Chains A and B, each alone.
Chain A
């Protein structure tokens, strides 16, 4: 299957700093990328959807100024957590899919464990 590389896998940062997470599709063009957040022992919650070259669409309750998403190319999307606080500590997962119908599989990155201290 296709590969989605997410980096870093783990990051610890101080409260008030910003953290950037990268999501790359290595062998296909990702026209759409999704960013999810997962709290311990809970499900994945969709944060935002981004299409290449367009502004991201954020889910209700997700602060777009805090979680900056950029999808400037067909192989790279980034999520920047700005002015991070301890409550932002979570597991962030991206997924990417190429253009196509609903059966086009979305491939997931390995996730990023963010800890804000």
Chain B
């Protein structure tokens, strides 16, 4: 079984402030972890993905995430928020047992205020 839990359905930050979106996972076998962004009425765009090569993963648009096995976490961060970062963010997990289908968290809506 595999699942992800995203803490906080809504996060609000000021423009220029640190963005931190939390994701904890559960997986019976080694997980593969992803962060996606979704803009209204659109599909999903991959921000970054965890490969076992490095625990700190850098993605697009200045985002990065750190895989912490001891904490079963894969939190997404960005040093300085832009207005254009306002969107819905989904953490997802997959593993070999699921045929690599993605299991998504409930999502976190990021609001960026001027």
Contacts and interface: CB of A to CB of B under 8 A. Distances in A.
B99 A105 contact: no
A98 B41 CA distance: 25
Interface in A1-44: 1, 4, 6, 32, 34, 42-44
A84 to B, nearest CB: 20
B106 A42 contact: yes
A80 interface: no
Interface string B75-113: 000000000000000100011100111111111000000
Given A102-B32, A103-B49, A110 B99 contact: no
Interface residues of B, number: 23
Interface size class of A (residues with CB under 8 A): 20 to 34
B90 A44 contact: yes
B46 A105 contact: yes
A110 B45 CA distance: 10
Nearest to B105: A43
A49 B99 contact: yes
Contact of B101 (A42, A43, A46): A46
A108 interface: yes
Interface of B: 32, 36, 41-46, 49, 51, 90, 94-96, 99-107
Closest 6 CB pairs of A and B: A108-B43, A108-B44, A102-B32, A110-B43, A43-B104, A43-B106
